[in-house]
Amino acid sequence: MEKGLLAAVRRFPLKGQEIKRLALSDVSFRSLCEDLADAEHALDSWAASASSVRSVRLGEYQTLVKELADEIEAMLAAHSGAPQGAGATAPQD
């Protein structure tokens, strides 16, 4: 499984099959999942950083990860017809 799909499935474990199906048919959704994986990786990198701008970058990437996850959730809801927030999400850090 691609890193983007893995990131989305980690975030929405009960929506794994929907994520895989939507990723096969929607390049925008696949791209959004890739963006989520990249943002999570950057967040992890900044969390381990000793840089003086660490806290600023952590805040920026935490916001970005949340926004990307919200977009993925909205696309899943639109695709399935379920209201947003109906999918189980993984615990947040």
Is 10 part of any domain?
Answer: yes
In the chain, how many domains are there? 1
Mean pLDDT along residues 18-24: 96
Is the pLDDT reported for residue 68 higher than 60? yes
pLDDT attached to residue 80: 82
Question: Any idea how long the chain is?
Answer: 93
pLDDT band at 90 (very low <50, low <70, confident <90, very high): low
Question: Is residue 90 in some structural domain?
Answer: no
Mean pLDDT of the chain: 90
34 in a domain, yes or no? yes
Mean pLDDT of 50-67: 97
pLDDT for position 91: 46
Average pLDDT over residues 54-68: 97
- Domain annotation covers residue 92: no
DSSP conformation letters of 35-57:
HHHHHHHHHHHHHT---TTHHHH
Provide the residue range defining the domain that includes 75.
3-80
Q: Is the predicted pLDDT of residue 92 greater than 90, yes or no?
A: no
C-alpha–C-alpha distance, residues 44 and 27, integer Å: 26
pTM: 0.84
Separation CA 41–CA 92 (nearest Å): 15
27-45 CB burial, b ≥16 within 10 A, e <16: eebbebbbbbbbbbebbee
| CA 10 to the chain's CA centroid | 8
- The answer to whether residue 87 is domain-embedded is no
Instruction: Using the predicted structure, report yes or no on whether residue 31 has a pLDDT greater than 90.
Output: yes
Q: Is residue 47 part of a domain?
A: yes
Q: Is residue 48 part of a domain?
A: yes
